Amino acid sequence: MDQIDLLPLLAGQPQFLQHLIIDIFPFAVALLLILLLRWLLTAILLRPLRMIARRSSSDIDDRLLEASISPLRLAVVAFALFFVIEVFAFDIAVEEFARTVARALLVASAFFAFVCWFDVVSLQPEVFRRLTGWTIPERLLPFLNTVVKFLIIAIGAIFVLQELQFDVAALIASLGVIGLGISLASQDTVSNMFGFAAIVTDNPFKVGDFIATPTVTGIVESVGVRATRVRQLDQALVTVPNNLLTNAAVLNRSRLEKRRLDATLNFTYSASADQLRAVISEIRELLQNTDDIDPESVIVHFVEFAESSLNVRVICQVMLSDWREFTAKQEAVFLEIMGIAERLGMDFAFPSRSIYLESLPGAKEAAADEILPGMQTQADAHSASDSAPVLDSDQTRAPAGPAES
């Protein structure tokens, strides 16, 4: 439709004024139409819907309705553009451009509505479970919410660009090359994000648990998207990347239902067999009748002849998960065992060694000093005879003394 036909008052006006008003008039009509549709949307459509939503017991429908207002306003602009194109006569190029923009606005408003609705639903785990039947940890919701919103926005952007006559295939290919470079540069960040998802879904530990890994031991203070903070026993705060925790063996001591008491008692070799039987029997009876100890787990046996002791192995399960309570119970049990050993007259051994000497240094010299004097005189005589001179046969023999006769 020609604008001159809609505005007959322009027929007698100057040419430049006619062109100016003709150019401005469609935009003014479009603006008035948008304001009118927004009023109709608020007064006629949304007001009854709000009244219906207030009657329900849940507030989800109210929040969904409020979240739909902004996408509807964007859709109103698109419908106004369609109306102006149909009413007024424009050039082919202008009409084509306006129709393209209007379609893109309608697609954008639809995906905008999806994002707003997902914000309402995803922030409540119970509602999400009722709608989908899936139960997910609350700690994972912010991460999943961000990922899903990013996917919705990315898909919506592709559809909008397609409506705007862009070559989406070439754009995706170029973005793929750029994304490959970004992923190579930020692969640690991506692995930490997936590590966070693994920690939340597998739930090997939570905030407040005492964990031990090959690299850190302490209490978990926070679990973030990139890293986990652990407070060590020396009060140092250690930040560990999530991908290291997911690839490591994690010992969670806070989830112990019971603790193992395992001790070896060393008695001296002076203990008799009857004493060992008595001490084993009394220790076994003590453990089986002690509170917070599983009687089915009690094991007390004489297990080894060691180098300096007779070893008795004591094993049982203490039904206490708290470390302080366990050590207090262990102390009480050990003191009772010491009392049993003292009452039976048994001593606890310590590393020792007995040495037996067959002879002392200098024993030969002492024995030589104790030889009989006669034996010494005889020995001297033999020595003197051996050293006497030997005479030839033609030499004169010395006269014999009285002793010879």
- Does residue 66 share a domain with residue 165? yes
Residue 29, domain member (yes or no):
yes
| pLDDT, mean over the chain | 75
- Does residue 126 share a domain with residue 154? yes
Please tell me the distance from the alpha carbon of residue 306 to that of residue 268, in angstroms, as a whole number: 10
Residue 374, domain member (yes or no):
no
Question: Of 343, 361, 396, which residue constitutes the final position of a domain?
Answer: 343
- Does residue 329 share a domain with residue 217? no
Segment holding 209, helix H or strand E = none
Please report the pLDDT score of residue 395 as a whole number: 41
- Does residue 239 share a domain with residue 173? no
Please tell me the distance from the alpha carbon of residue 110 to that of residue 152, in angstroms, as a whole number: 11
Please tell me the distance from the alpha carbon of residue 38 to that of residue 33, in angstroms, as a whole number: 8
Question: Of 252, 270, 289, which residue constitutes the final position of a domain?
Answer: 252
Which residues lie below 8 Å from residue 275, measured CB to CB, with a gap of 6+?
A: 267, 344, 345, 346
Please tell me the distance from the alpha carbon of residue 103 to that of residue 158, in angstroms, as a whole number: 13
- State what percent of residues in the chain have pLDDT above 70: 63
Which residues lie below 8 Å from residue 190, measured CB to CB, with a gap of 6+?
A: 183
**Among the listed ranges 122-131, 172-181, 264-273, which one has the minimum average pLDDT value?**
172-181
- Whether residue 350 has pLDDT greater than 50: yes
- Does residue 301 share a domain with residue 216? no
Average pLDDT over residues 123-147: 68
The pair of three-digit structure tokens given for residue 195, joined into one six-digit string = 């590590």
- Does residue 222 share a domain with residue 98? no
Please report the pLDDT score of residue 343 as a whole number: 94
Residue 45, domain member (yes or no):
yes
Query: Which of the four pLDDT bands, split at 50, 70 and 90, describes residue 388?
Result: very low
Q: How many whole angstroms from its chain centre is CA 188?
A: 16
Residue 381, domain member (yes or no):
no
Q: Measuring CA to CA, which residue among 346, 173, 330, 214 is closest to residue 276?
A: 346
Please report the pLDDT score of residue 402 as a whole number: 42
User: What is the tally of structural domains in the chain?
Assistant: 3
Residue 25, domain member (yes or no):
yes
Question: Of 312, 327, 343, which residue constitutes the final position of a domain?
Answer: 343
Residue 305, domain member (yes or no):
yes
Please tell me the distance from the alpha carbon of residue 43 to that of residue 36, in angstroms, as a whole number: 10
- Whether the CB-CB separation of 41 and 73 falls below 8 Å is answered with yes
- Does residue 210 share a domain with residue 177? no
* Strand positions, DSSP E, 237-294: 237-241, 251-252, 259-267
Query: Which of the four pLDDT bands, split at 50, 70 and 90, describes residue 268?
Result: very high
Please report the pLDDT score of residue 14 as a whole number: 55
More confident site: 81 or 12: 81
More confident site: 229 or 166: 229
- Whether residue 127 has pLDDT greater than 70: no
CATH number at residue 237: 2.30.30.60
- Whether the CB-CB separation of 312 and 279 falls below 8 Å is answered with yes
Q: How many whole angstroms from its chain centre is CA 258?
A: 22
**Among the listed ranges 52-66, 122-136, 209-223, which one has the minimum average pLDDT value?**
122-136
More confident site: 100 or 36: 100
More confident site: 110 or 371: 110
* Residue with token string 């192995």: 313
Residue 405, domain member (yes or no):
no
- Does residue 197 share a domain with residue 51? no
SS (H, E, C) 57-85: CCCHHHHHHHHCHHHHHHHHHHHHHHHHH
CATH number at residue 261: 3.30.70.100
Q: Which of the 8 DSSP states describes residue 253?
A: G
- Whether residue 83 has pLDDT greater than 80: no
| Domain carrying residue 236 | 190-252
- Whether residue 290 has pLDDT greater than 60: yes
Residue 365, domain member (yes or no):
no
Average pLDDT over residues 131-135: 67
- Does residue 151 share a domain with residue 26? yes
- Does residue 134 share a domain with residue 214? no
Which residue type occupies 334?
Answer: F
- Does residue 49 share a domain with residue 143? yes
Please tell me the distance from the alpha carbon of residue 197 to that of residue 116, in angstroms, as a whole number: 24
More confident site: 346 or 188: 346
- Does residue 236 share a domain with residue 301? no
